[in-house]
Amino acid sequence: MDNDVRLRQDILDELEYEPSIDAANIGVAVEDGIVTLTGHVRSYAEKHAAERIAERVKGVRAIAEEIDVRLPEHKKTADDEIATRVLKILAWGAAISAPEDIHVKVEKGFVTLEGTVDWHFQRSAAEKSVRVLTGVTGIDNQLRIRPRMNVVDVRHGIREALKRNAETEAENIEVEVSGSHVILRGKVQSLRERVMAERAAWSAPGVTAVEDHLRIENARVRLGP
């Protein structure tokens, strides 16, 4: 219990320290290393940033994110205008080779992305580009990655990427590959290490799905004297 109290304070301090968000209306609860974020923020970008900030705090095992986006009146934007902006930003700055293959739907500021891209980084870039647009209240990223049949030794590539990453202990992570589907098993020391392992798997060419069965061990550490 004492660890949870200190972990909650660490997260609150990190949120207050971050200049890109207003943490005044964000609530934090912690139970057994599992963090629940509640309250409201003024933009979807702030909502996403709050989750990433909590994720990087040592001792966090999992996050339940329940923050609402409450746009100020002057930042509310019509859905058709948001859709137009999304299409433009995808065409200009998301590193996507065929933006015409992406379909956009907007309802009350909530953006749904559908279609196909060649790489996972393009899927992530599309979401990141949309996240900062004024008027967006949420994103459902349903973009699929085109399978590539000429993938050569995906497993080897992922294993080497894990070894190069200073934040992961590659010897504790098992990589299974079936076609373009990757399964990660084993143990990691933190939520951050788990995220980095997933990122390494997604970076392999042709990967269309990553199934994460990694266990977080030794995440609960004694804080203070």
Q: Return per-residue pLDDT of the chain as tens, 225 residues.
A: 588 999 999 999 999 998 889 999 999 999 999 999 999 999 999 999 999 999 989 899 999 999 999 988 888 899 999 999 999 988 886 567 667 789 999 999 999 999 988 888 888 889 999 999 999 999 999 998 877 644 457 788 888 888 888 778 888 899 888 878 899 999 988 888 888 899 888 888 778 889 999 988 854 443 444
Q: Topology of domain 73-145, per CATH?
A: Histidine-containing Protein; Chain: A; (3.30.1340)
Measured between its terminal Cα atoms, the distance across the chain in Å is 16
**In the chain, where the domains are located:** 2-69, 73-145, 154-216
Alpha-carbon gap, residue 15 to 4, rounded angstroms:
16
Altogether, the residues listed in the chain come to a count of 225
The amino acid sitting at 105 is K
Tokens of 179: 């076609």
Tokens of 146: 């085109």
Three-class SS state of 55: helix
Q: Tell me the CATH number for domain 154-216.
A: 3.30.1340.30
> How many Å is the maximal CA-CA distance in the chain?
57
Q: Topology of domain 2-69, per CATH?
A: Histidine-containing Protein; Chain: A; (3.30.1340)
